[in-house]
A and B are shown apart, each in its own frame.
Chain A
Amino acid sequence: AQTVTQSQPEMSVQEAETVTLSCTYDTSESDYYLFWYKQPPSRQMILVIRQEAYKQQNATENRFSVNFQKAAKSFSLKISDSQLGDAAMYFCASKQGGSEKLVFGKGTKLTVNP
C-alpha cells in the first residue's frame, strides 16, 4: 500500500526567504509519480510541481523546486524568495503507475510573515 507522510503540520517563513517542506513516501512499485499541491484559503487545490520517479533530475517550476531522493523515499519542496501569496496548505501526493489512485499526505500549513 502507498503511504505519504508529511511530518511538519505547520511551518513559517519570512517573506523573501527560502523554506523547505518535507515529505516521505512508501511504495512497492518502481513506476510512480509524486506531486505537490497547494491549497490557499480559497480552498482551491492547485498543482505546484510533479516528479516522475524514473527521472533523476529534480523538477523545477520557477521559485518551486523539489529534492527527490529516491533511495530515501523523500520528496521535499523548496520555495525560494517566499511571497505572501505562498501562504497555504501544501499537500504531498503519490500515484503508482497503472493506478488511478492519488494518495495524499496530511498537509503542511505554511505561513509567510511580512
Chain B
Amino acid sequence: DAGITQSPRHKVTETGTPVTLRCHQTENHRYMYWYRQDPGHGLRLIHYSYGVKDTDKGEVSDGYSVSRSKTEDFLLTLESATSSQTSVYFCAISSLGSSGANVLTFGAGSRLTVL
C-alpha cells in the first residue's frame, strides 16, 4: 500500500459513540487527505492536511474533525457517530509528480458501520 496504513479496517459502532480512524504514512509526505466513498456519490473529500497542525475542510466536513500532531499520522474523528456516516473511508497522501500533478496514493480503506 505504498506506505499508507489505515486502522481499523473494519468497525461497527452504535449511534452516538465517538469513533477515531487513523491513517499512518511512512512516506514523509506533507499532504494527507480523508475521503468517504458512498454508492452513487463517488469519493468526497472530508478534510485534508498540508502539514503538522495545518488542516482544512473539504466538501463534506460536517460531523467530522481531524488532527495531525505528527507528519506520519492523520486522525479522523466522529465525535458522535450517526447512521449517515456509515461509509468506506479512504486516507490518501499526495505524491507530486514531476509535472506537479497532485497524484494521490490511497490507503486500503476503512469500512465503518454505524447502527
Contacts and interface: CB of A to CB of B under 8 A. Distances in A.
Contacts of A35: 101, 103
Contacts of A102: 33, 45, 102, 104
B42 A47 contact: no
A81 B48 CA distance: 38
Nearest to A34: B101
Interface residues of A, number: 22
B42 A104 contact: yes
Interface in B32-90: 33, 40-45, 48, 50, 56, 58-59, 88, 90
Contacts of A52: 99, 101
Given A100-B48, A104-B42, A50 B58 contact: no
B88 A50 contact: no
B48 A101 contact: yes
Nearest to B38: A106
B103 A47 contact: yes
A56 interface: no
A30 to B, nearest CB: 15
A45 B106 contact: yes
A106 B37 CA distance: 9
B85 to A, nearest CB: 18
A100 B103 contact: no
Given A100-B31, A100-B50, A106-B40, A47 B104 contact: yes
Interface of A: 6, 33, 35, 42-45, 47, 50, 52, 91, 93, 95, 97, 100-107
Interface of B: 1, 31, 33, 40-45, 48, 50, 56, 58-59, 88, 90, 92, 94, 97, 99-106, 108-109
